[in-house]
Amino acid sequence: MVTRMSRFFVRTLREDPADAEVPSHRLLVRAGYVRRAGPGIYSWLPLGLRVLRRIETIVREEMERIGSQEVSFPALLPKEPYEASGRWEEYGDNIFRLADRKGADMLLGPTHEEMFTLLVKDLYSSYKDLPLSIYQIQTKYRDEARPRAGLLRGREFVMKDSYSFDVDDDGLKRAYEAHREAYIRIFDRLGLDYVIVQAVSGAMGGSASEEFLATADNGEDTYVRSPGGYAANVEAVTTVAPAPLSDDAIAALPAAHVEDTPDTPTIETLVAAANERFARDDRPWGAHDTLKNVVMWVRQPDGSREILVVGLPGDREVDLKRLEAQLAPGEIEAFEDGDFASHPALVRGYIGPQVLGEDSESGIRYLVDPRIAAGTAWITGANEPGKHVFDLVFGRDFTADGTIEAAEVRAGDPAPDGSGPLELARGIEMGHIFQLGRKYADALGLEVLDENGKLVTVTMGSYGVGVSRAVAAIVENSHDEAGIVWPAEVAPFDVHLVATGKDPAIFDAAASLADDLAAAGLEVLYDDRPKVSPGVKFKDAELIGVPTIVVVGRGLAEGVVEVKDRRSGTRENIALDDAVATVKVRTARG
């Protein structure tokens, strides 16, 4: 097909949109791919829709290749299934809720685990029906607190979500592996730079889980990697704990002693005071020798809340995303002045672990960073204003109700698998695969008869690809100062043909070449605008980013056209007669 620029519903902009924070947003709006319709809500212009459709096609082909079957669920959903799974409450403000004219509660689906589970329950009843993998490419909704970055974090977006259904764990693992391979093919074909990282499952429940992140300096997600190949999102990193000391070694450690430490409300002032008045011979005290105890409320979706104190080395901050991933679906709330007043066991600024723990008198839950291992000795609060305790040993002088991964991860921390020091990097979450297990099947009663005629609960996997987000992520990965540089497989057109000058013979030759290119099976964008200067046409072509640009201009007199590679910028004169063959070779898709 030939699309003529003179009639094409597109306008490029010279100025960046005022609200654009990232290159993809800036370029997709300027080049006429999308337009903002509201906060976090975009309309697709013909250019944008072409890219979106090409991505959908790739996703569809790879899903079909692993035998997944396409279905399509409504976006507007009844509350009841989400209430049965607990997610109606868990999602809090993050979903759009509404009531219909009869007052029935409904939601705009953020993901469809419940609906897929119920559909399979409706249709299937025997182990012989399984395994099953079904998917949809569908519009989803999330009421983001801060919609930002254009298509990267919108409130209405297109996702591919798929679900696998198996009778046993081995089946689930096979389904998971098949999806993993399909995702590798998808993101390879999309031309993305990406990493696969270990992930915790978060609010979705379940066990094994990996994310596909497009690498991007301004990505929202932080992940870590090691020289030895370990990669994980920050929420999933586990801390390498020191080896615990034996009981005998612990007994040989110096006894704990309480010291006056006036005016030491912060870790810095405490360390300074310790070095001034209680100096050690071998090495100075550091923040890593102190144990700070952070107190907070944890609120559950049912509205109940309890106090939690988290103990961690004084040189580490709490990472809220890591902490919340551990506590989900619970959410953190601040512990206020009034809360201290009504809990006198917690002495603000001087909380020590001696009074904490579910078995202690206070009954307050106490979880510690894994670095707080048996035999480690700490300076920490003495539960009296102005006093700290030194040489307080874990496993001898205090204990905890368990460990928690709440501390920040830092560059240089050891990878949990021993593959070297961690490096921090940023990315955009493009895909997520995980082994859900039986959470939804249990909640909604999805059982089948097994070989022995016994009812067994089905085990599920859940797999997502951000389809509209991919449009933006590809641009983040692939652009330059002049505009977008599309990988051939997702480009809106195969070739951008530009006619320059005013000579009608040039326009005739270009129109005829456009037809020949289309006849060769290519999608052609033909810039036939009669009164637009070559400079503007070239600028528009670079901004729009079709990978192969053909210019019909003055060279026509010598029977040549110019073929330009958008990515490298290289130009080549080609005989007009060879143009179709040359372009066809260049635009061949992966």
3-state secondary structure of 116: helix
Interface with a copy of itself includes 242 (CB under 8 A)? no
Nearest approach, Cβ of 530 to a copy of itself (angstroms)?
A: 11
Quick one: which of 96, 335, 350, 394 contacts a copy of itself (CB under 8 A)? 96
Quick one: which of 155, 348, 539, 554 contacts a copy of itself (CB under 8 A)? 155
Quick one: which of 15, 122, 281, 337 contacts a copy of itself (CB under 8 A)? 122
Interface with a copy of itself includes 93 (CB under 8 A)? yes
Question: What's the DSSP call for residue 4?
Answer: E
Nearest approach, Cβ of 54 to a copy of itself (angstroms)?
A: 13
Nearer to a copy of itself, 96 or 194 (CB): 96
Q: ∠ CA 194-200-202 to the nearest 5 degrees?
A: 115
Interface with a copy of itself includes 298 (CB under 8 A)? no
Interface with a copy of itself includes 521 (CB under 8 A)? no
Can you tell me which residue has the tokens 């590798």?
184
Nearest approach, Cβ of 139 to a copy of itself (angstroms)?
A: 7
Please state, in angstroms and rounded to a whole number, the distance separating the CA atoms of residues 569 and 547.
Answer: 10
Binders in 18-77 for a copy of itself, by CB under 8 A: 32, 35, 37-39, 41-46, 49, 52, 67, 69-77
Query: Could you write out the DSSP letters of every residue in 5-71?
Result: GGGSS----SSPPTT--SHHHHHHHHTTSEEEEETTEEEEPHHHHHHHHHHHHHHHHHHHHTT-EE-
Nearer to a copy of itself, 94 or 207 (CB): 94
Interface with a copy of itself includes 493 (CB under 8 A)? no
Interface with a copy of itself includes 123 (CB under 8 A)? yes
Interface with a copy of itself includes 187 (CB under 8 A)? no
Please state, in angstroms and rounded to a whole number, the distance separating the CA atoms of residues 507 and 514.
Answer: 10
Cross-strand pairs, 428: 214
Interface with a copy of itself includes 558 (CB under 8 A)? no
Nearer to a copy of itself, 134 or 197 (CB): 134
State the number of binding residues for a copy of itself (CB under 8 A): 51
Q: Which stretch binds a copy of itself (CB under 8 A): 131-139, 272-280, 363-371, 374-382?
A: 131-139
The secondary structure of 362-413, three-state, reads CCCEEEECCCCCCCCEEEEECCCCCEEEEEEEECCCECCCCECCCECCCCCC
Tokens of 88: 């109606």
Going by C-alpha positions, the residue among 375, 373, 134, 80 that lies closest to residue 251 is: 375
Going by C-alpha positions, the residue among 62, 312, 283 that lies closest to residue 187 is: 62
**Which residues sit at the interface with a copy of itself, rule CB under 8 A?**
7-11, 32, 35, 37-39, 41-46, 49, 52, 67, 69-78, 93, 96-98, 100-101, 104, 106, 108, 115, 119, 122-124, 132, 134, 139, 141, 143, 145, 155-156
